[in-house]
Chain A
Amino acid sequence: MFYREAGDFKTSYADDSQTFPIRFDRLRYYAVMAVAFGVIPFFINDYWANAVFVPFLIYAIAALGLNILTGYCGQVSLGTGGFMAVGAYAVYKLMTAFPDVSILIHVLLAGGITAMVGVLFGLPSLRIKGFYLAVATLAAQFFLVWLFNKVPWFYNYSASGQISAPERTILGQAVTGANTTAPAKYLFCLIILVALAWLARNLTRGTVGRKWMAIRDMDIAAEIIGVNPLTTKLSAFAISSFYIGVAGALFFAVYLGAAEVGEAFGIQKSFLILFMIIIGGLGSIFGSFAGAAFMVLMPVLLKNLLVGQLGWATDLAAHLELMIVGALIVIFLIAEPHGMAQLWRLAKEKLRLWPFPH
């Protein structure tokens, strides 16, 4: 019904390699973009921005980053929280050291710094694999958090050990600091997310992405057919860490405003992002979005339902949430290891023939 390919002939290579080859998909993509840029900014208020949209956008960036490393290149990382902390502290140092430079440049530079740190911690991946590597990335997580806690230079010797974002503007609009309006926060994150998602999509279907996937599927075989594991794995670590660093920078500067490293970027954050890509779909751009949306929305809905409607204690709801998240992870891994992205793909297959399946 919706997915009619008959009559959709490709006459050039450009046609053949487009991201959305089916017209309906393309239109839907434009519609989503139009709503995201043209409708939501006019209706968004502080509650929706802080509870749903801004965390979703930022987590989507982090999930994209981790998905590049874990979903596309097959290297499981539990150090996401630590790398987000690198991004956050890098942007903080840059913002306070060079107040005149645009925040956008700072955020990107913070991503670049995180990429370098990521490569450093990615070096062992050339020797160790699988969950050995996963445990090794824990070293990054704990070491980085400790470092930012203990070295006063990173938090500018502030008495509380916290970092807080000063006000910075883009085109006269505050995007960080206390005076930021909800639409400004939202649009700032949205623009970065869209740019990065576009980049990720095109990286993963090009040479680099194919090399990543070859390494993921079987690294020894990939090496034999001429994929260099050194550059491939390290490029995955670098690009993934760039995304995660940008996410960390935004998480601190735009979303939190003030952060304490152990609380904001602890091991729980690493697992949260990992869960997003498992539930959303490993090795899928759409999956990163779906997983981020799911993991942001579920606690909000549960809290509204259990605490708001039924009047339960908050801690009970939090424990129930832990159980539900855990059970969902197991259920997804058993029933649909490719996550919500695969469910979406199946739904599209069905829609192709609907309503006449024969």
Chain B
Amino acid sequence: MPDQLLYAIEAGLNGLMAGVLYALVALGFVLIFKASGIFNYAQGVLALFAALTLVGFQNGQIPFAHLINAIFGTDLHTFGWQLPAIVAIVLAAGVMVILSIIIERYVLKHLVNQAPIILFMATIGLAYFLEGLGDIMWGADIKKLDVGLPQGINETIDTVTYNAFGYGFFIDNLDIVASVVAALLVISLTIFSQYSKQGRALRAVADDHQAALSVGISLRFIWVLVWSIAGFVALVAGIMWGSKSGVQFSLSLIALKALPVLMLGGFTSIPGAIVGGLIIGMGEKLFEFFVGPMIGGATENWFAYVLALLFLVFRPQGLFGEKIIERV
């Protein structure tokens, strides 16, 4: 096979893997949007916050150390212990649940029945707040996240493809793990929403708030539940991205990448989030590979948005979204 084609296939495969990570963030968006009609801009910052909290617990950092030091003139930094990864993950998940209770109680409850766009802007405010909070709690320096996931080039694929084509593909182990985790997450979420009592209640709320209320489903509990799940998904996404490129502010920018993924896949569809993620991930890598060199490179910054924009003009509800019907 010609080298050019092999490189393209490699770029495409790597794009697919990146797409899985986009899809992980997009999944959190879809969950919240389906259950409450809220377009949660803060999802990416939730991922950042979760990853920061995880690293903080792992390294035994004292929360708000900088603030305390600044106010009282002390010199606190760490408790001086290292927690095992699994304990830290459980603790971080616990923090995300508490966070979702707080968000429901102090933000969402007061914004019931507002226009969707108001809720959207409120989540932008929330994103800013959480970003500041995360930095103040754990410090803004770039942190290394290591929960024991395998990293580096996958030797097997490298050898197999080298023997087959004379060129070894570079596929990161971490990306493979991320794909498996994403698949597991989607399957378990689907089972949860199809077969469990709470999952059915969640779908009922997504369908019709009023009707769900009238059969005795607690809207507030469902919201806490769905934000907790979204927080957990954010934690998973945060772990994956954090292991890949360190825990830093740019992590929250992947949330922005998840938006075109959603527009492509449709805001209300979980499979849509996955497929959209794969299309965007592969599309931007291939575009960068074929067209990028001609127009100066770094096209990954905008390709996804422009693709989604063009796509929306022809199919406003996305690939798998419900048809948007408007009445006067």
Contacts and interface: CB of A to CB of B under 8 A. Distances in A.
A130 to B, nearest CB: 6
A135 interface: yes
Given A127-B312, A142-B301, A329 B259 contact: no
Interface in B244-283: 256, 259-260, 262-263
B71 to A, nearest CB: 8
Contacts of A320: 132, 136
B129 A334 contact: no
B133 interface: yes
Contact of A138 (B66, B124, B133, B305): B305
Interface in A127-161: 127-128, 130-132, 134-136, 138-139, 142-143, 145-146, 149-151
Contact of A130 (B117, B130, B299): B117
A145 B107 CA distance: 33
Contacts of A329: 121-122, 124-125, 128
Contact of A334 (B110, B259, B262): B110
B125 A136 contact: no
Contacts of A124: 309, 312-313
Residue among A271, A325, A329 having the largest count of chain B Cβ atoms under 10 Å: A329
A275 B124 CA distance: 9
A220 B111 CA distance: 25
Interface string A197-236: 0000000000000000000001011001000000000000
A199 B295 CA distance: 40
Nearest to B267: A132
Interface stretch (A54-62, A89-97, A106-114, A307-315): A307-315
A128 B313 contact: yes
Contacts of A135: 259-260, 262-263, 305, 308
Nearest to A221: B328
Contacts of A64: none
Contacts, number: 138
A interface: dominant SS: helix
A334 B326 contact: no
Contacts of B117: 76, 130-131, 134
A142 B118 CA distance: 24
A328 interface: yes
B296 interface: yes
A142 B124 contact: no
Instruction: Using C-beta atoms within 8 Å of the partner chain, give the interface range for chain A.
Output: 35 or more
Interface residues of B, number: 49
B70 A333 contact: no
B168 interface: no
B259 A138 contact: yes
B199 interface: no
A274 interface: yes
A241 to B, nearest CB: 17
Nearest to A321: B132
Residue in A139, A267, A321, A325 with the greatest tally of chain B CB atoms within 10 Å? A139
A143 B135 CA distance: 29
Interface in A312-358: 312-313, 315-316, 319-330, 333-334, 337
Interface string B104-142: 000100110010111011101111111111011000100
A138 B302 CA distance: 9
A119 interface: no
A151 B296 contact: yes
Dominant secondary structure at the B interface: helix
A326 B128 contact: yes
Contacts of B305: 135-136, 138-139, 142-143
A130 B316 contact: no
Given A316-B66, A319-B132, A323-B132, A128 B316 contact: yes
B91 interface: no
Interface string B212-247: 000000000000000000000000000000000000
Nearest to A123: B313
B49 interface: no
Contacts of A149: 298
Given A135-B260, A138-B256, A326 B129 contact: yes
Contacts of B128: 271, 322-323, 325-326, 329
B57 interface: no
A306 B121 CA distance: 28
A150 B312 contact: no
B124 A271 contact: yes
A150 B117 CA distance: 33
Interface in A147-200: 149-151
Contact of B124 (A274, A312, A315): A274
A88 interface: no
A275 B269 CA distance: 30
Nearest to A310: B70
Interface string B28-69: 000000000001000000000000000000000000001100
A66 interface: no
Contacts of B296: 150-151
B75 to A, nearest CB: 13
Contacts of A150: 295-298
Contact of A146 (B127, B263, B301): B301
Given A139-B308, A310-B70, A325-B132, 14 more contacts: A76-B117, A124-B313, A128-B312, A131-B116, A138-B256, A146-B302, A218-B328, A221-B328, A267-B256, A278-B121, A316-B136, A319-B135, A319-B136, A323-B129
7 contacts: A76-B117, A134-B120, A138-B256, A323-B128, A323-B132, A327-B129, A333-B122
Interface pairs A-B: 8 shortest CB-CB: A329-B125, A326-B129, A322-B132, A326-B128, A323-B132, A139-B305, A150-B296, A142-B302
Interface of A: 76, 124, 127-128, 130-132, 134-136, 138-139, 142-143, 145-146, 149-151, 218, 220-221, 224, 267, 271, 274-275, 278, 310, 312-313, 315-316, 319-330, 333-334, 337
